[in-house]
């Protein structure tokens, strides 16, 4: 929702996602399109839009960005690397808490890297813990 100022000279978003590139990508997504979020070390394939939010190690965190995007994007399924189960169980728990009842499919990390070629964009965070990467599959709100 947008609001006009008293002077009527500009608009401001009222939703949590204020990054213009992330907001644009979400607005342009259709059913079954994907958006990915990842750690600072995830290689982004040529041709995939990279929205780089990383400021320094750990800032912003993967979970902060995931929760922000989930506040605006309807997600019907998420994909995580199989390796997160053993290599980063704390992050896995945080992801499960964030996505709630949304189904999770675990795939090999190498497959996830390949699948980034077909995502609408990759949002890079400052996260520096292993396998802190996710692919979000968009759903519909009706």
Q: For 39-74, what is each residue's pLDDT tens digit? A: 999 999 999 999 999 999 999 999 999 999 999 999
Residue 133 is assigned to a ligand binding site = yes
Q: Give the residue extent of every domain in the chain.
A: 2-138
pTM of the predicted protein model? 0.90
Contacts 24+ apart (CB under 8 A), 24-32: 25/49, 25/51, 25/120, 25/121, 26/69, 26/72, 26/73, 28/120, 29/73, 29/120, 29/138, 30/138, 31/138, 31/139, 31/140, 32/137, 32/138
Q: Establish whether 88 is an annotated binding residue.
A: no
Identify which has the larger pLDDT, 8 or 41. Answer: 41
Question: Which CATH entry fits the domain spanning 2-138: 3.20.20.70, 3.30.1330.10, 3.40.1650.10, 3.40.30.10?
Answer: 3.40.1650.10
Q: What is the pLDDT of residues 66-99, one digit of tens each?
A: 999 999 999 999 999 999 999 999 999 999 999 9
Tell me which of 16, 31, 85, 117 is the catalytic residue: 31
């Amino acid at each position: 929702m947008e609001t006009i100022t008293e002077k009527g000279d500009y608009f401001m978003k009222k939703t949590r996602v204020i990054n213009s590139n992330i907001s644009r990508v979400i607005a342009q997504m259709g059913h079954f399109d994907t958006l990915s979020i990842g750690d600072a070390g995830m290689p982004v394939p040529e041709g995939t839009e990279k929205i780089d939010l990383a400021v320094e190690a750990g800032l912003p965190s993967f979970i902060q960005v995931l929760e922000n995007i989930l506040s605006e994007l309807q997600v019907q399924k998420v994909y995580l690397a199989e390796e997160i189960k053993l290599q980063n169980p704390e992050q896995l728990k945080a992801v499960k808490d964030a996505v709630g009842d949304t189904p999770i499919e675990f795939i090999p990390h190498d497959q996830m890297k390949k699948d980034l070629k077909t995502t609408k964009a990759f949002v890079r965070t400052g996260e520096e813990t292993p396998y802190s990467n996710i692919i979000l599959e968009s759903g519909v709100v009706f």
